């Protein structure tokens, strides 16, 4: 976390802030009390509900929570309009490859339609903001022991419904950047822990 991020962006909207990565991001940023954090999360099997109570109790002036499913465009658009974020960090996603094999439709809805709804809410509200999309290295496929590492020029080669849905959302973000001039970064994470 750079000091520039904390000072440049005052209103930060986080999607998936009750999940593992989003929750730890909020925990790090909120302690500085320099930013207002707006957290959108649907609350699912992998959510840390207790941390939400902690944030609300300990940082009432720096934290707001909205329990919304990203597939509900009207609610997403309304929250984005209300909070007027400078920065959106999009952590929210269905994860776990095994789950995507059992129920791929949920992954398509959340990871593709949910990303589309966030992007569309930015455009509909005519916001000039920064968008950071948290993705996965799995969009590049699988490596064998003697293969070279993935890099920014690696071709997409998703191998599961999960990685295909994340690859699709990556392409949506790039398309919105190209078409609408949205400033964005895509971060392809690998097995986060910490």
Q: Give yes or no: 54 in active site.
A: no
Count of other CB atoms within 10 angstroms of residue 85: 24
Alpha-helical regions (H) of 84-185: 97-102, 104-107, 114-124, 161-180
Half-sphere exposure for 129 (CA within 13 Å, toward CB)? 27
Across the chain, which distance is largest between two alpha carbons, in Å? Answer: 51
Task: Report the alpha-carbon distance of residue 78 to residue 94 in Å, rounded.
Answer: 23
Q: Give yes or no: 45 in active site.
A: no
Q: Three-state DSSP class for 178? A: helix
Q: Tell me which of 64, 162, 170, 176 is the catalytic residue.
A: 162
Q: Tell me which of 138, 156, 170, 176 is the catalytic residue.
A: 138
Q: Tell me which of 137, 156, 157, 176 is the catalytic residue.
A: 137
Q: Give yes or no: 98 in active site.
A: no
Task: Report the alpha-carbon distance of residue 122 to residue 119 in Å, rounded.
Answer: 5
Tell me which residues are annotated as active site.
137-138, 162
């Amino acid at each position: 976390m750079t000091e520039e991020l904390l000072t440049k962006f005052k209103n930060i909207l986080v999607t998936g802030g009750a999940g593992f990565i989003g929750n730890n991001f909020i925990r790090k940023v909120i302690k500085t009390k320099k930013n207002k954090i707006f957290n959108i999360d649907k609350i699912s099997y992998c959510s840390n509900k207790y941390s939400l109570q902690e944030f609300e109790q300990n940082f009432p002036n720096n934290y707001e929570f909205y329990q919304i499913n990203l597939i509900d465009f009207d609610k997403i658009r309304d929250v984005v309009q209300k909070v007027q974020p400078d920065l959106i960090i999009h952590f929210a996603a269905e994860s776990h490859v095994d789950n995507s094999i059992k129920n791929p439709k949920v992954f398509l809805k959340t990871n593709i339609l949910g990303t589309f709804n966030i992007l569309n809410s930015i455009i509909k509200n005519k916001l000039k903001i920064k968008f950071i999309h948290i993705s996965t290295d799995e969009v590049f496929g699988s490596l064998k022991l003697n293969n070279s590492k993935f890099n920014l020029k690696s071709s997409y080669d998703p191998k599961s419904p999960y990685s295909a849905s994340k690859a699709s959302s990556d392409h949506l973000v790039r398309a919105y950047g190209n078409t609408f001039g949205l400033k964005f970064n895509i971060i392809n994470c690998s097995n986060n822990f910490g």
